[in-house]
Amino acid sequence: IHLFCVFLFLIEWLQHVILTVSTWLLSALPMDGVVVNSNCQCVTTTSSIIPSRLFQRIEILPPGAHCRKTEILITKKDNKTVCIDPEAQWINKVLTRVMRR
């Protein structure tokens, strides 16, 4: 019985370690649709409006050898990068306003 209890303890401990390591690895993945080591930077895009006061940087990546589509990446002041749908009306208005400056 004692050996069985030790075995159960080791199984529970191992499950905890696996869960902790898995959570740690998943937390290291990029968020908000940005991919590392891929041809395109964006896997998913959003059309949701992001207030310009939250912008830190806007990057426009034209189509090319790296990716066949135009990509718009906004890095927010909290250092999170969001991929924006280039067809979203609001981003075109923002880009027009930025180009005028």
Sequence spans of domains, the chain: 1-30, 32-100
What pLDDT shows up at residue 64? 84
Could you count the other beta carbons within 10 Å of the beta carbon of residue 88? 17
What pLDDT shows up at residue 39? 82
Q: So what's the architecture of 32-100 in CATH? A: Beta Barrel (2.40)
pTM over 0.75: no
- All residues at 6 or more sequence positions from 98 whose CB lies less than 8 Å from its CB, including other chains: 58
Where does residue 91 rank: exposed (0-12), middle (13-18), buried (19+ CB within 10 A)?
buried
Q: Is the predicted pLDDT of residue 95 greater than 70, yes or no?
A: yes
- Pick the range with the lowest mean pLDDT from 17-31, 39-53, 64-78: 17-31
pLDDT in tens, 37-63: 458 999 899 999 999 899 999 999 998
